[in-house]
Amino acid sequence: MKRREFVKKTAVFAAGGLVVPFILPTGRLFARTNTPKADHVVVVIFGGGLRQQDSISQRYLADSQGFNVEGNILYNILEGAAPSSKIAYGTTPAGSPKGSQPIPKLLSQSIQKQGTIFAEMRAISGGHYGGLNSVMTGSGVEGQGLKVRPVNPTMFEYARKFGGFKATDTWFVGNGIGNSTPLLNSSKHPDFGLNYGANFFAPSVTFGGDGRATLANAKIYHPQEELEPMYKMKNFLDNTFNIKAGDIPGIKNTDEEKTRVKDFIDETFRRQMLGQIPSPPVGGGDSSTIGYAAEVLRVFKPKLLVVNMSNIDGCHSDFTGYLQAMHKADHAMGFLWNYIQTQIPEMSGKTIMTFVPECGRNLKHNPILDENDWFGYDHGDANSLRVFGGMVGQNVPSNLMVGSESSPIGKVTDITLTVADILGFKDEVVAAGIIDSQARSLFDRI
Amino acid sequence: MHNFKLLIFISVFLFMSACNKNENKVYEVQNTPSYGDNLNKNKAKSNIEYHSILTTNLFQKPSSVNELTRTDRVIQSFGDKALINEVIIGNYMNTNSVRLPSRKRMVDSTDLFIEETYVRFFIRKPTEAERTWFRNYINANKSNPNFKPELVYTAFAASDEYFFY
């Protein structure tokens, strides 16, 4: 081989070695490091601060208001008999005492029977923001300001970078636009960030009155005759304006994905008018958020969807409302699991749903009394770090309870690694070295 | 006495030398519009700034504060800001009050249309390369009846450069 030919071939191979990994779909460089446990993951943040005593311990009013009334008001998730007196956690039929009508059990088998419950886990923070951050990022970092993106990568960014997923494969359905919720779909980490962020919307705004007035009348353009030339011109304009990708706010969908999402927005308003958005039988509040999450699952069949509930946080000043919101959240989560299994054939039997609150609530009450003269509970003390979680679905052991009050097992930071484990890139997330060093996949806790 | 005469002489000299005939100089400055370029646009508009300017461009008057606040909330509620802005632009384009150039103007006076569009949205004139690209693109799409100024305006309004000032 002549010298010139040798140099040429070497250069070609070297260039190929550099280029080929980047032309693999969405920049994925390596093969998956572990066998995926399921094709899809749904994470439910049973959020707003769930007090351990009132939920998994099934103490109802016994450890909170001084009445000797115990019972399970989360009977779609947990096994256990419901309270037999002082029923205030249900709905309110006309002419009946408030909350006196418990919502009928929706699942034929509880999540506990179908899957695995981690009875005593630990939260990273006793506050919402630190708690949500720790669930979404798997990081133990608490100290960062409100209204900023997380410092460390979210589970979406790991999924897109290491799993090679598109933006429309990852969704975060939020309970609103307050605090930092709309910023939790992506971090500002220099190695991850918006290029790997998830699609996000807050149904109460996007598809509420504001959204309807702003979006519902949008023109639907013909994909080839109109959208294609429009995007061609836009892409030309963008190429002649060299701004750094990170300077453009928001995550990025491809042109093709944008068309799909626009169709989704249009169809959602139409289905909303026709009353076709899936919804738990007992609706309102968090139930509505769950309904729109089900709609995303139906349309996009994403690899990863996170939905955030928060109504139980009313416990600060309304303990009765907190019990009702908790009961309704159990109903909504049961609905979502049932919807996946019965209404989305592409996801049925191929999905794992996992859930955890971002934090618990205080041991001692505050001085605020509600209409039943029951005390409210804030969050922030050591008891607020006591939480429970679980998972259900493909490859999840059934009818298993892990850990107990005397033997805590699991942390909320486990969720990110559990998602990575389920989708097949756990080792890469660990190797990135950013998550809580004590975090484990919940599968490894069993 | 001698000193007094000298003082008068100096004063008269200074007075005389300070007076000059006033010459009217004409510099012949012409009024020329000043346009910038896209090199220094590096500050992102806020949602409210963006839509206030955009609605002024499309409707010849800005939206009300209430409408802008509502729009801001909707943008906050969505992860892909560029996408949701495109939907909002689609909403604007579906109203009767939007004011757009005619397709005839775009086709018959293509160069002028291109220049006006660049000045309207980017506050600058197109470069020769930009002008040529758009001229060729518009000419190539003349036979597509769906190719209207509305699409050109949507592309400009949704472009990255329009997000910055």
For B143, nearest residue in chain A (alpha carbons): A225
- Chain A closest CA to B115's CA: distance in Å? 14
- Residue from B63, B81, B96, B160 to probe the interface with A (highest A Cβ count within 10 Å): B160
> Are B88 and A214 a contacting pair at CB < 8 A?
yes
Residue B80: CA atoms inside 13 Å, Cβ hemisphere, count?
A: 26
Q: Which residues of chain A have a CB within 8 Å of the CB of B156? A: 233, 237
> Which residues, at least 6 apart from A326, have a Cβ–Cβ distance to it below 8 Å?
A50, A54, A55, A73, A74, A89, A312
> Which residue in B44, B70, B77 is closest to A249 by CB distance?
B44
Decide if B36 contacts B70 (C-beta within 8 A). no
| Helix ranges (DSSP H) in B19-164 | 47-59, 65-76, 81-93, 103-108, 110-122, 128-140, 149-157, 160-163
Decide if A357 contacts A43 (C-beta within 8 A). no
Residue type, A89: Y
Q: Which residues of chain B have a CB within 8 Å of the CB of A167? A: 80
Decide if A241 contacts A184 (C-beta within 8 A). no
- pLDDT level of residue A245 (50, 70, 90 thresholds): low
> Are A182 and B79 a contacting pair at CB < 8 A?
yes
For A256, nearest residue in chain B (alpha carbons): B83
- Characterize the bridge pairing of strands A304-308 and A40-45: parallel
> Which residue in A199, A211, A221 is closest to B74 by CB distance?
A211
pLDDT at B165: 86
Phi, psi of A294, deg, nearest 5: -60, -35
Distances, alpha carbon A102 to alpha carbons A41, A287, A331, in Å: 30, 16, 10
Find the mean pLDDT for residues B78-85: 94
For A201, nearest residue in chain B (alpha carbons): B78
Look at residue B164 and give its three-state secondary structure.
Answer: strand
pLDDT at A250: 84
For B150, nearest residue in chain A (alpha carbons): A230
> Which residues, at least 6 apart from A175, have a Cβ–Cβ distance to it below 8 Å?
A47, A181, A202, A204, A286, A289, A308, A309, A310, A311
Q: Residue B55's closest CA among B8, B99, B4, B87?
A: B99
> Are B160 and A229 a contacting pair at CB < 8 A?
no
- pLDDT level of residue A21 (50, 70, 90 thresholds): very low
How many CB pairs (< 8 A) connect A and B?
147
Q: Residue A203's closest CA among A101, A123, A295?
A: A295
Strand partners, A352: A41, A393
> Are B71 and A182 a contacting pair at CB < 8 A?
no
Residue ranges covered by each domain of chain B: 46-99, 100-165
Residue A24, pLDDT above cutoff 80: no
Q: Which residues of chain B have a CB within 8 Å of the CB of A304? A: none
By CB atoms closer than 10 A (0-12, 13-18, 19+), residue A278 is: middle
Percent of chain B's residues with pLDDT above 70:
91
> Which residue in A200, A205, A262 is closest to B79 by CB distance?
A200
> Are A237 and B73 a contacting pair at CB < 8 A?
no
Per-chain mean pLDDT for chain A? 91
Find the mean pLDDT for residues A344-354: 97
- Chain A closest CA to B32's CA: distance in Å? 25
| Separation between Cα atoms, residue A313 and residue B143, nearest integer Å | 60
> Are A219 and B90 a contacting pair at CB < 8 A?
yes
Q: Which residues of chain A have a CB within 8 Å of the CB of B76? A: 177, 182, 205
Decide if A264 contacts A300 (C-beta within 8 A). yes
Percent of chain A's residues with pLDDT above 90:
81
> Are A214 and B76 a contacting pair at CB < 8 A?
no
Residue A27, pLDDT above cutoff 60: no
Residue A26, pLDDT above cutoff 50: no
Q: Which residues of chain A have a CB within 8 Å of the CB of B90? A: 218-221, 262
Q: Residue A45's closest CA among A211, A264, A265, A293?
A: A293
> Which residue in A182, A229, A248 is closest to B160 by CB distance?
A248
Distances, alpha carbon A200 to alpha carbons A183, A203, A301, B44, B165, in Å: 9, 10, 15, 21, 27
Find the mean pLDDT for residues A168-174: 97
Instruction: State the CB neighbour count (10 A cutoff) for residue A329.
Output: 30
Q: Please give the structure tokens belonging to residue A128.
A: 């919402």
Q: Which pLDDT tens digit goes with each residue over B143-158? A: 888 999 999 999 999 9
For B42, nearest residue in chain A (alpha carbons): A243
Helix (H) or strand (E) holding B102: none
Q: Residue A280's closest CA among A43, A48, A76?
A: A76
Residue A132, pLDDT above cutoff 60: yes
For B43, nearest residue in chain A (alpha carbons): A247
| Separation between Cα atoms, residue B81 and residue A147, nearest integer Å | 17
> Are A241 and B41 a contacting pair at CB < 8 A?
yes
Residue appearing with tokens 């002489």: B9
Q: Which pLDDT tens digit goes with each residue over A414-439? A: 999 999 999 999 999 999 999 999 99
Sheet with A351-356, strands from edge to edge, namely A199-201, A170-173, A304-308, A40-45, A351-356, A386-393, A116-122, A400-402
- pLDDT level of residue B51 (50, 70, 90 thresholds): very high
pLDDT at A244: 65
Residue type, B117: T
pLDDT at A289: 95
pLDDT at A20: 44
Give the residue, A69 or B2, on which the prediction is more confident: A69
Residue B18, pLDDT above cutoff 90: no
- pLDDT level of residue A224 (50, 70, 90 thresholds): confident
Percent of chain B's residues with pLDDT above 90:
65
Find the mean pLDDT for residues B35-40: 71
Residue A379, pLDDT above cutoff 60: yes
Q: Which pLDDT tens digit goes with each residue over B117-137? A: 999 999 999 999 999 999 999
- Chain B closest CA to A421's CA: distance in Å? 26
Look at residue B45 and give its three-state secondary structure.
Answer: coil
> Are B77 and A231 a contacting pair at CB < 8 A?
no
> Are A250 and B80 a contacting pair at CB < 8 A?
yes
> Which residues, at least 6 apart from B70, have a Cβ–Cβ distance to it below 8 Å?
A210, A213, A214
For A21-29, which contacts have Cβ atoms below 8 Å and span 24 or more sequence positions? A24/A164, A25/A164, A26/A160, A26/A164, A26/A165, A26/A166, A27/A161, A27/A164, A28/A161, A28/A162, A28/A163, A28/A164
| Separation between Cα atoms, residue A41 and residue A57, nearest integer Å | 27
- Any idea how long chain A is? 446
- CATH architecture of the domain with residue range A39-210+274-445: 3-Layer(aba) Sandwich (3.40)
Q: What is the DSSP secondary structure assignment for residue B44, as one 8-state letter?
A: B
For B51, nearest residue in chain A (alpha carbons): A214
- Residue from B51, B66, B78, B100 to probe the interface with A (highest A Cβ count within 10 Å): B78
Decide if B156 contacts A244 (C-beta within 8 A). no
Query: How large is the angle between the packed helices B81-93 and B149-157, nearest 10 degrees?
Result: 150
> Which residue in B79, B95, B155 is closest to A233 by CB distance?
B155
Look at residue B56 and give its three-state secondary structure.
Answer: helix
- Chain A closest CA to B85's CA: distance in Å? 9
Decide if A49 contacts A385 (C-beta within 8 A). no
Give the residue, A73 or A21, on which the prediction is more confident: A73
Distances, alpha carbon A292 to alpha carbons A8, A33, A287, in Å: 56, 33, 9
- Residue from A166, A171, A173, A240 to probe the interface with B (highest B Cβ count within 10 Å): A240
> Are A238 and B86 a contacting pair at CB < 8 A?
no
